[in-house]
Structure 1
Amino acid sequence: MQSLLRWSVEHSDPSGSQNPGDGEPKKLDPEIIDMILGKPDSEQMKEKLAIAVDERRSEEERVQALDDFEMLIESIDNANDLEKLQMWQPLHDLLTSPGSTDKVKRQALWVIGTAVQNNPAAQNVFLKMSPMQTILSFLAPSVPAQTRSKAVYALSGVLKHNAGAVRQLEAAGGWDMLRSALEDSDITVRRKTVFLINALLIPTSSSISPTQPPAPVQVQPQPSSATSSSTALTLHPSSPSPSTNFHTPSSPSAPVHPNSHAALQSDPSAMDTSSPTLSALRQKGILTTLINGLTSPVPHGEDGENEGDMDYEEKVVRLLETYVSACRGGFEGAEKGRLREYFGREGTDGEKYGLSEDEMRMLLRALE
């Protein structure tokens, strides 16, 4: 502010005698313009990323720069500018560079997760780098818990509503990694992982046809007439109607933007994460691990000092409800017995698990 005042005084004419039209106009100092109007976001992004990748800078400076960068790319327009500004490669390199500390890598995962969240255009650009193996490597038990948590956040942003990303996940052995994450020593990682799997399991309006429901994995399918009123995730209905599409414009004339899921309407299968997730629940043992998380949970905490977690259990029950009502999945005999025992012990009040009475009733019916 003092610089602005000084510039104003220096360029003023106390006598008022000078003709405004006389003399050459003086150019404004770019620094003064930046002080008044602020730097363009693109310039700020360049500056922050330059600091973040500069290994001569302190860890604190680099982490702060990435924190500032993350706030800038919360804007979807700025996130989409990452490709034009050629910033994706430097961001990805931060995850693998020997000069990146754990905190720098953690912050880079946060930036990536924010940039691709609910942004198909950014997702697809990032996926061209085949980043899945790199992100999954941060789920290893040797990685600090906070970084593992940020890795799940980044995976969530990349995978949601993107069938191509799920294919990359499968090719990289990601389902096995997610199954292990359901038994992570850090309960936050477990919660985020089960929430992510549930989000991937929820069908789009095109992935399961109401007139041609997929065969259940085992027992007889549940009636498809019941609907879900999930409060945990409301992007998709549990039983989609033939006339409703929650990812495409409400009318054929509505504009379609490349960073909108409506851009994928020409190929709805590109959004289908439910089908491969449903297969992985059985084939990769994820459903068994989820049931174990309710009936015989692995202790959590640095020394395994904690047992059980109601928040995690609530999320698992929500996923099982999605599996039954939205995907028409079934349980084997032993699984039914273990789940009946769990609900007999913990109670069958749907409100306890964030379920409506109808949702809870449908889940319990699947255990008969």
Structure 2
Amino acid sequence: MEKLLHWSIANAQGDKEAIAKAGQPDPRLLQQLFGGAGSSGPDDPTLMKEQMEVIMNPDVELDIKLVAIDNFEMLIENLDNANNIENLKLWDPILKILEFEEDELVSQALSIIGTSVQNNTNSQDKFLKHENGLNKVIQLANDKSQSFEVRTKALYALSNLVRNHEHMATKFRELNGLDIIPPILNDPKAKTKLKMRAIALLTAFLTSTEISESLISDMRKDGTIEATIDCLNSETDLNLIDRVLNLLAQLISAGIKFNQVEMEKLKTGFQKVEPLKDRLNEDDYLTVKYVL
């Protein structure tokens, strides 16, 4: 398997010297992995375990591990394979990758988590059983020392973990997951994509839990509501503004009453985005306008 991975990378890069060094892989193995008439290669569970063995092997070079983790992610895009992660006892090594030094592997592991649980209650249930798994992802999303790619993938994973899953959303709140959102939205240096992922996470969370007085109180204490409204004043990206209006409309539809400070900021922000109304979601725009 490792020889095949070396050969694959060398061919992709067109490195003749590396191709010669890697040698030609076993044709039967090629047929097994890539199919063909009469192919009777390893089944997907076997391939998943083999790829994970390569990733976890400390003696394997990073380029090879990246090919293996990319292969693994392609495999778990299949729902049955995603559900098989638990049966194959692969959640623990995936979570272990989150502790690796290589950003490329960490971000890929986060992507695997997000992809495997997306619209997949079974995988969400299984992930929740792994102690400290959710907390690890929250910590990566909240850590400013992490790369942009790691943080965006962590937010992606969190959104898919909590979406339409009440127990995951409850655990997320208990772990103070909401606290990661205001610093991102308030950071003038944060890229638009990171802020959009933060808003997407908050939206996913709110669709998965009861918007109660207690929740709104917590969101006020940590500054989540103000930070969200402030985006209307500080941001110019149309997609981000649209997502903010959608989230505010979600809160309004749930019966939230904005306090005086929030209302003043909302009025100012709404005036700023008003010229863009023809390019924004009409329903969300009108829902927010109704409370002003």
In which range does the TM-score fall when normalised by the shorter chain? 0.7 to 0.9
Distance 1:153 1:362, change over 3 A: closer
Instruction: Report if aligned partners of 1:182, 1:290 keep a CA contact under 8 Å in 2.
Output: yes
| Corresponding residue number in structure 1 for 2:224 | 286
Give the alignment's TM-score, normalised by structure 1.
0.64
Task: Please state whether the residue corresponding to 1:57 is helix, strand or coil.
Answer: coil
| Corresponding residue number in structure 2 for 1:360 | 285
| Corresponding residue number in structure 1 for 2:152 | 149
Separation in 1, partners of 2:65, 2:171 = 30
Distance 1:286 1:103, change over 3 A: same
Instruction: Report if aligned partners of 1:110, 1:154 keep a CA contact under 8 Å in 2.
Output: yes
- Whether 1:334 aligns to 2:258 is no
How many residues are paired up? 256
Q: 1:136 aligns with which of 138, 146, 153?
A: 138
| Offset, 1:178 | 2.2
Give the alignment's TM-score, normalised by structure 2.
0.80
Letter in 2 for 1:133: N
| Offset, 1:363 | 1.6
Task: Please state whether the residue corresponding to 1:347 is helix, strand or coil.
Answer: helix
Q: 1:198 aligns with which of 203, 214, 228?
A: 203
Structure 1 runs of 4+ aligned residues shifted over 6 Å read: none
Instruction: Report if aligned partners of 2:94, 2:109 keep a CA contact under 8 Å in 1.
Output: yes
**Alignment deviations for residues 158-178 of structure 1 (CA, whole Å, 9 cap, x no partner):** 111112212222222211112
| Offset, 1:282 | 2.6
- Whether 1:59 aligns to 2:62 is yes
**Alignment deviations for residues 103-150 of structure 1 (CA, whole Å, 9 cap, x no partner):** 111111111111111111111111111312211121211100011000
Separation in 1, partners of 2:218, 2:279 = 28
| Corresponding residue number in structure 2 for 1:183 | 186
Instruction: Report if aligned partners of 1:127, 1:165 keep a CA contact under 8 Å in 2.
Output: yes
Distance 1:345 1:113, change over 3 A: closer
Separation in 2, partners of 1:162, 1:347 = 35
RMSD: 2.4
- Whether 1:311 aligns to 2:231 is no
| Offset, 1:273 | 5.6
The higher relative CO (CA closer than 8 Å, separation ≥ 6) is in 1
| Offset, 1:73 | 0.5
- Whether 1:90 aligns to 2:93 is yes
Distance 1:313 1:277, change over 3 A: farther
Gap regions ≥5 residues in structure 2: 1-26
**Alignment deviations for residues 178-224 of structure 1 (CA, whole Å, 9 cap, x no partner):** 2223235122111011022123223xxxxxxxxxxxxxxxxxxxxxx
Distance 1:290 1:32, change over 3 A: closer
Instruction: Report if aligned partners of 1:183, 1:190 keep a CA contact under 8 Å in 2.
Output: no
Alignment of 1:28-177 (within 5 A): 34=32, 36-37=38-39, 38-97=41-100, 100-130=101-131, 131-139=133-141, 140-177=143-180
| Offset, 1:335 | 2.3
Separation in 1, partners of 2:217, 2:128 = 22
Separation in 1, partners of 2:144, 2:180 = 10
Separation in 2, partners of 1:112, 1:178 = 20
**Alignment deviations for residues 33-57 of structure 1 (CA, whole Å, 9 cap, x no partner):** 8353243111111111111111211
Identity of aligned residues (%): 27
| Offset, 1:62 | 1.0
Letter in 2 for 1:161: N
Instruction: Report if aligned partners of 1:72, 1:78 keep a CA contact under 8 Å in 2.
Output: yes
